[in-house]
Amino acid sequence: MADNSQNDAYWSANLRIIKISLVIWAIVSFGFGILLRPMLSGIAVGGTDLGFWFAQQGSIIVFLILIFNYAFRMNKLDREHGVDEE
C-alpha cells in the first residue's frame, strides 16, 4: 500500500512539472509570439520588435531552457523517490 502511494506521489509531481512547462511554453510561443505581439511591438530587441523576436528566437530559447529545467527537476525527483539511474 505504501509503495502505491509513493508511486502516486511520484507521478503527481512528474505531471505537475510537465503541466507547468507546457503552460510556460504556450504562453511564450503562442502568447508572446502571436496574441500579444501588437502590445510588444513598441519594445525593440536586436533591431526588431519584441513580439517578432519571441516568435522567431525567444520561444526556441525558452523551449531549450524548459528542456534543461525538466531534466534537472526530474533527476532531483528521481533521487527523492529512489528511482534514479545511479
The band of 2, judged by pLDDT with boundaries at 50, 70 and 90, is: low
CA proximity to 9, closest of 72, 86, 80: 80
pTM above 0.85, yes or no: no
- Domain limits, the chain: 2-81
pLDDT in tens, 21-65: 999 999 988 888 888 888 888 888 888 888 888 888 888 999 999
> C-alpha grid cell for residue 1?
500500500
Query: How buried is 36 (Cβ within 10 angstroms: 0-12 exposed, 13-18 middle, 19+ buried)?
Result: middle
What is the predicted pLDDT for the residue at 1?
42
More confident residue, 33 or 70: 70
Does residue 8 have a pLDDT over 50?
yes
